[in-house]
Amino acid sequence: MDDEVAFLREMLEIYSPSGREAALAAYLAGRMRQMGFQVWRDEVGNVIGTIGEGPWELLLLGHMDTVEGFIPVRLEDGRLYGRGAVDAKGPLAAFILAAARVGPRPGMRVRVVAAVEEERTSAGARALLNAPAPDAVVIGEPGGWSSITIGYKGSLSVTYRLRAPRHHSAAGMPTVAEQAVRFWNRLADHAARCNQGESHRFHTLDPSLRHIATRSDGLTEEVTMGLNLRIPPGMDISELKARMREWADGAELLVEDEVPPYQAEKNTPLARRFLQAIRACGGTPSFKLKTGTSDMNIVGPAWGCPIIAYGPGDSALDHTPGEYIDLEEFHRAIGVLETAILNM
């Protein structure tokens, strides 16, 4: 096993679900110092490392946290398995290793951020908004070594809650569970109408029912339902929330998280450097629009600078029990990043 793969493997061995990134942060801070970075931790726990000095700054923004569920780390048939291998310790490791390979460049500062809580609140990315905007940003997310991602859908997380006096099943009145299902059906029907004629999921409204539970104390009954909606560009989120409150018919609707969609420009110096780097490394580059949400949605509209997302790995493996990264692709991505940085 080469040193770069060993570095990623050590990252995967440290379980770091959102809110529990401290052990991985300590490990990365130490290793990045050994690689030549100037390193510090900010107030929310982000690990920040810089190489080089100069007026022009490239920010490589990855995240340390993963979803819950440790996957035993193993190397098998050229694949490294483990939670975060794809989302997104693989891309973060590629950022660190590529920046270290390049080292200091005249007039240029490369800042690598290993952020916290991307999978929950994006607290790490939000904390960065207090500092001046960099000149260009690359978000560390899987898209494949020969692809550049320039857009992510928005996200709306909502809790539906309804409590009512209990009644006999023969009374002919709808239960709270039935009213919750009625609300869900209205939302799903609305999405189906919005999505008519759309062939690309980046442009569709996609609601998902994450959980539903009922309880009763003998006097009242209550239903709680957790929903997530993936929001396409151009959709009025305020109008959608108003419709949902109407369909709720008196039930409580609590918006837990709201992230607008974001799509970056294709034709920027940053994107062109990555297209050239992919070709130089033997690939045929392509652009992607993703149906999930990332820290690009947070920093992109705030900073307004050239921005893309890049990283090795198949995003279809995100959050799955069989998550792995192909090691040949991992090495190719490091080479693309190195080439792109050298040519900036």
- Note the pLDDT of residue 199: 87
- Note the pLDDT of residue 122: 95
Q: List all residues 6 or more positions away from 332 whose beta carbon is below 8 Å from its beta carbon.
A: 145, 146, 281, 282, 283, 312
- Is 0.75 surpassed by the pTM of this model? yes
Rounded to an integer, what distance in angstroms lies between the CA atom of residue 261 and that of residue 263?
A: 7
Question: Is 135 labeled as catalytic in the residue annotation?
Answer: no
Nearest to 251 by CA among 222, 230, 280, 228: 222
- Note the pLDDT of residue 170: 62
State yes or no: cis peptide before 88, omega within 30 of 0.
Answer: yes
Nearest to 324 by CA among 313, 332, 309: 313
CB 65 within 8 A of CB 117: yes
Q: What are phi and psi of 282, to 5 degrees?
A: 95, 10
Nearest to 343 by CA among 269, 265, 284, 285: 269
- Note the pLDDT of residue 168: 60
Question: Is 43 labeled as catalytic in the residue annotation?
Answer: no
Q: Which domains does the chain have, with CATH numbers?
A: 3-153+261-342 (3.40.630.10), 154-259 (3.30.70.360)
Q: Considering all CA atoms of the chain, what is the largest pairwise distance in Å, rounded to the nearest integer?
A: 79
Angle formed at CA 103 by CA 5 and CA 269, multiple of 5 degrees: 95
- Note the pLDDT of residue 1: 64
Nearest to 150 by CA among 285, 27, 241: 285
- Residue 246, exposed/middle/buried by CB under 10 A (0-12, 13-18, 19+)? exposed
Rounded to an integer, what distance in angstroms lies between the CA atom of residue 60 and that of residue 141?
A: 11
Among 4, 57, 65, 141, the active-site one is 65
- Note the pLDDT of residue 256: 92
Among 4, 118, 323, 329, the active-site one is 118
CB 333 within 8 A of CB 91: yes
What are the pLDDT digits (tens) for 252-283?
Answer: 999 999 999 999 999 999 999 999 999 999 99
Rounded to an integer, what distance in angstroms lies between the CA atom of residue 57 and that of residue 55?
A: 6
- Note the pLDDT of residue 189: 98
Nearest to 295 by CA among 283, 282, 311: 311
CB 69 within 8 A of CB 321: yes
Rounded to an integer, what distance in angstroms lies between the CA atom of residue 81 and that of residue 72?
A: 7
Structure tokens belonging to residue 262 = 């974001």
- Note the pLDDT of residue 263: 97
Residues of the chain whose pLDDT is less than 50?
A: none
